[in-house]
């Protein structure tokens, strides 16, 4: 299984998927429908639309976003150019991003000319999935990765069609997104607990504008003349719909807002109806997993996110971890004891010291050696007995 946190993952992705012989999508409508099903449109990816299934489990949110970003860009390339060659796609994607320079973002300037095109694209995608928040803010936030990645896909489509990118395309599309989301939130009949978190999601994801009300008061104030294709319009209806959703329903006034927006965008009423139903079903199904629908306090959110991250690290390194632990009879005994009895102060100190020594030998676990990393050790200890229960049970019997 390829790992998006390790260099060379894009080449491994295409080697595993072998997409060159796959049939092309029939239309942009099919592309949008399949992309929306993955959750990529909403900033919460629940699956990947790939020829060979790719598991979501035991991946960090950033890794999931990277895979979703690569695959969606590639599918847009295949649809637009009617070409499935991964090398051609990578070359075009790198050329596209080389045109961009938002807020000093120029990923290729610092890279050696000898670097492979796939390595360049890995660096670009890594940067694009990040939000504008600093590391500390992200740690205590529900926002992990950029929620407006589909704007990149829309811009890529423009580039592939014209061989260039219209000046300030990102600025104008983001400006329209901000206006519609702000207007949608103001148009709700009631205040939802997730509204603040949803707004925070968009605030941290925009790159070229500041999130504000823009003085937009009604749909009639929206200037949508810049929009030129259905994918842009479908995207805006869906973003408005998810902003309006609350308590498993969209009120009549909110439906009216969506239909008026659909009229303004000149899209079929059938799409607006489908959007309402799809968003409701998607949120109801995945609500407990979607960060901005879980209004937990910052400390709980940090703990939950950290726990998930530690569990992923443990699962990925379980063979090495168990091998290292099994070489210390004392540590095995103490960890076994900790599963059913409180350790005293001296025993806890021994466990901490020996585990930190082990973390020094496993590159992925060096996070526990960073300042504050020792605070995560109780979480690590909690997962270790689950890796190989029989080994601990046998050890307990030998030492009892």
Confidence of residue 142 (pLDDT cuts 50, 70, 90): very low
Q: Residues 38, 4: contact at Cβ < 8 Å?
A: no
pLDDT at 35 over 90: yes
Per-residue DSSP letter, 268: -
Give whichever of 7-11, 251-255, 300-304 has the largest mean pLDDT: 7-11
Tell me which of 80-94, 95-109, 182-196 is least confident.
95-109
Average pLDDT of the residues in 274-292: 85
CA–CA dist 368, 289 (Å, integer) = 26
pLDDT at 65 over 80: yes
Q: What is the CA radius of gyration of the chain?
A: 24
Q: Residues 47, 37: contact at Cβ < 8 Å?
A: yes
Q: Which value, to the nearest 10 degrees, does the dihedral of the CA atoms of residues 168, 170, 176, 177 take?
A: -170
Tell me which of 16-30, 281-295, 339-353 is least confident.
281-295
Give whichever of 22-26, 182-186, 257-261, 340-344 has the largest mean pLDDT: 257-261
CA–CA dist 137, 215 (Å, integer) = 28
Q: Residues 60, 312: contact at Cβ < 8 Å?
A: yes
pLDDT at 87 over 60: yes
pLDDT at 58 over 90: no
Which residues are CB-contacts of 214 (< 8 A; sequence separation ≥ 6)? 175, 178, 179, 182
- In the chain, where are the structural domains located? 1-165, 181-295, 298-399
**What pLDDT sits at residue 141?**
41
pTM over the 0.75 mark: no
CA–CA dist 69, 149 (Å, integer) = 7
Exposure on the CB side of residue 383, measured as CA atoms within 13 A: 19
CA–CA dist 161, 224 (Å, integer) = 21
The two three-digit tokens of residue 73, written as one number: 């860009």
**What pLDDT sits at residue 333?**
81
Tell me which of 13-22, 126-135, 182-191, 276-285 is least confident.
126-135
């Amino acid at each position: 299984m390829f790992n998006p946190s390790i260099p060379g993952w894009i080449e491994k992705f295409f080697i595993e998927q072998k997409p060159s012989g796959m049939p092309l999508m029939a239309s942009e409508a099919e592309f949008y429908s399949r992309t929306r099903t993955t959750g990529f449109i909403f900033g919460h990816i629940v699956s990947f639309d790939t020829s060979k299934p790719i598991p979501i489990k035991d991946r960090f949110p950033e890794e999931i976003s990277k895979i979703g970003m690569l695959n969606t860009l590639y599918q847009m390339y295949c649809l637009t150019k009617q070409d499935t060659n991964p090398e051609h796609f990578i070359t075009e994607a790198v050329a596209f991003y080389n045109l961009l320079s938002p807020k000093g973002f120029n990923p290729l300037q610092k890279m050696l000319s000898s670097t492979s095109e796939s390595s360049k694209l890995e660096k670009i995608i890594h940067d694009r999935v990040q939000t504008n928040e600093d590391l500390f803010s992200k740690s205590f936030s529900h926002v992990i990765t950029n929620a407006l990645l589909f704007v990149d896909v829309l811009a890529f489509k423009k580039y592939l069609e014209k061989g260039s990118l219209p000046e300030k395309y990102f600025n104008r599309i983001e400006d329209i997104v901000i206006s519609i989301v702000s207007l949608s939130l103001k148009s709700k009949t009631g205040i939802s607990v997730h509204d603040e978190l949803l707004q925070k999601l968009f605030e941290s994801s925009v790159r070229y504008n500041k999130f504000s009300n823009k003085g937009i008061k009604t749909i009639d104030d929206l200037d949508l003349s810049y929009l030129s294709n259905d994918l842009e319009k479908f995207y805006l209806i869906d973003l408005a719909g998810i902003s309006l959703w609350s308590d498993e329903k969209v009120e009549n006034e909110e439906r009216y807002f969506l239909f008026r927006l659909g009229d303004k965008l000149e899209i079929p009423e059938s799409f607006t109806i489908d959007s309402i139903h799809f968003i409701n079903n998607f949120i109801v199904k995945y609500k407990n997993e979607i960060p901005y629908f879980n209004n937990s306090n910052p400390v709980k959110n940090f703990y939950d996110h950290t726990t998930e991250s530690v569990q992923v690290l443990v699962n990925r390194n379980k063979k090495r971890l168990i091998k290292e632990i099994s070489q210390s009879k004392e540590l095995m005994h103490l960890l076994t004891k900790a599963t059913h009895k409180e350790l005293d102060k001296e025993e806890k100190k021994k466990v901490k010291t020996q585990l930190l020594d082990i973390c020094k030998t496993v590159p992925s676990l060096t996070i526990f050696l960073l300042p504050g990393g020792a605070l995560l050790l109780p979480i690590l200890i909690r997962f270790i007995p689950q890796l190989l229960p029989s080994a601990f049970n046998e050890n307990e019997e030998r030492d009892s």
